[in-house]
Homo-oligomer: A and B are copies of this chain.
Amino acid sequence: MNELTHVNEEGAAHMVDVGSKSITERVAKATSTLETRSDVLQLLQKAADKKGDVLATARIAGIMAAKRCSDLIPLCHPLALTGVSVDFEVCEEKGSIRITTECKVNGNTGVEMEALTAASVAALTLYDMCKAVDPGMVINATHLLEKKGGKRGHWQFDDANGV
């Protein structure tokens, strides 16, 4: 593939016609990581231990953002997602929280953008809740982990691909 599919031969953006692609089960997993100071992580952990609203808020934000993906990303197709999950892994030594998302659809185009949007918005929501303590947090390593379904089949992120 040596052309961008989302622009036509004259360089004009369009929403690619996927009407003739076959409907298969499509799955995508993505990730994003919020890096912060260890004291912020402890505050998050402490809040989470009490009632859990901190992680739940980021989780719900991620799930809702996945559903609104085609409303945010201009050339994304609207899709009737059949499942979305958002998980968190707190890594205390690195001072980071890693988000992992999974989206599913039976459709004629993939759900990569939905999974990535869920991960990004979950990370931004965590940032929002901690920014009064540490505005210097950084969101890193937002990328696709894996996708299945469609003509190209299974794809996995290769940590060694030099990015």
Q: Is the CB of B64 within 8 A of A67?
A: no
Q: How far, in angstroms, from A8 to B17 measured CA to CA in the complex?
A: 33
Instruction: Determine whether A91 belongs to the interface, using a CB cutoff of 8 Å to chain B.
Output: no
Q: Is the CB of A87 within 8 A of B120?
A: no
A4 interface neighbour in B37, B54, B137, Cβ under 8 Å: B54
A19 interface neighbour in B5, B15, B82, B137, Cβ under 8 Å: B82
Q: Is the CB of B74 within 8 A of A64?
A: yes
Mask of A70-87 contacts with B, CB within 8 angstroms, 1/0? 111111111111111111
**Neighbouring B residues of A139 by C-beta, 8 Å:** 32, 120, 142-143
Q: Is the CB of A11 within 8 A of B53?
A: yes
Q: Is the CB of A116 within 8 A of B124?
A: yes
Residue of B with least CB distance to A130: B4
Closest Cβ of chain B: how far from A5's Cβ, in Å? 5
A142 interface neighbour in B3, B25, B61, B138, Cβ under 8 Å: B138
